[in-house]
Structure 1
Amino acid sequence: MAQAGTTSDWNSPKLAQHATGDALSAISRSMYADHLNGLVTKGEPRNYPKVTSATPAENPTTVMISDCGDSTHWLKYRRDTGKLADEGGGRRAITAEVTKQVSGSWKVTRFAVEGLGSC
């Protein structure tokens, strides 16, 4: 997502390599909105993911992850002027469901990102 955000490429095939279903739809819609609004994202997020559950316990196919992501250095800018278009980043709570695909790969299927200062 960070890489696709540098150009707001909502069609990037790399998005589907890591997300599917509701997660992919939400990410693509967000990127498309940024594209329409003339925004790009610069920098890199900092993530600190931790597995909070795995089911079934013996051979997991679904894993829940929690994070206190930091977007301090991952902000939106106007594509035409290069000026900051963000109020600023910070730490926020993130939860994600990651499921094992038929191919054996793992992809994010759902996620929620809370407001700034939520962790």
Structure 2
Amino acid sequence: MWGAFVDAAKVSNPDAPDVRRYASDQALRLIVNSLYTNREQKKVTKGSLALNPRITQVKPEQAPTEAEVLDCVDSTRWLEYKVSGGLWDDKPGGKHRTTATVKFTGGTWKVSSFILEESGTC
């Protein structure tokens, strides 16, 4: 999901098909709304995220269809730029404690929700 978001954010494309391939429900709405807003503001996001996710819980334990994931999403190298060039603002990226729910539906795993906390929370 994060890779698809990073790719779509390079051009602020809320219609990027890979976002829908890896995200659903609240997670999809958050990403698509963010991309729409950036496109309207003539803003793109470039760079990369550093991730280190770990599964903290699965449900049910036998043949899981849902997993909880904890990560520290590092956006230090993923910054917002004006479409015309130059940084959008002078705010650096940071490290965000992130919890996500991933569900197995329709034969595939998708992130259905996530909470990305403020910078500096991990």
Question: What TM-score, normalized by structure 1, do the two folds share?
Answer: 0.96
Please give the residue correspondences for 1:1-119 in structure 2 after superposition, counting only pairs within 5 Å. Answer: 1-80=5-84, 82-86=85-89, 87-102=91-106, 104-119=107-122
Q: Name the SS of the counterpart of 1:93 in structure 2.
A: strand
Q: Name the SS of the counterpart of 1:113 in structure 2.
A: strand
Residue 85 (structure 1) shift: 1.4
Residue 22 (structure 1) shift: 1.2
Deviations, residues 69-88 of structure 1 (Å, cap 9, x unaligned): 100111110001x1111411
Give RMSD over aligned pairs.
0.7
**Equivalent pairs: percent with the same residue?**
36
Q: Name the SS of the counterpart of 1:114 in structure 2.
A: strand
Q: Which letter does structure 1 place at the counterpart of 2:50? A: R
Q: How many matched pairs?
A: 117
Question: What TM-score, normalized by structure 2, do the two folds share?
Answer: 0.93
Q: Which letter does structure 1 place at the counterpart of 2:77? A: H
* In 1, Cα distance between equivalents of 2:68 and 2:87: 33
* In 1, Cα distance between equivalents of 2:24 and 2:119: 25
* In 1, Cα distance between equivalents of 2:67 and 2:6: 22
Which structure 1 segments of 5+ residues have no match?
none
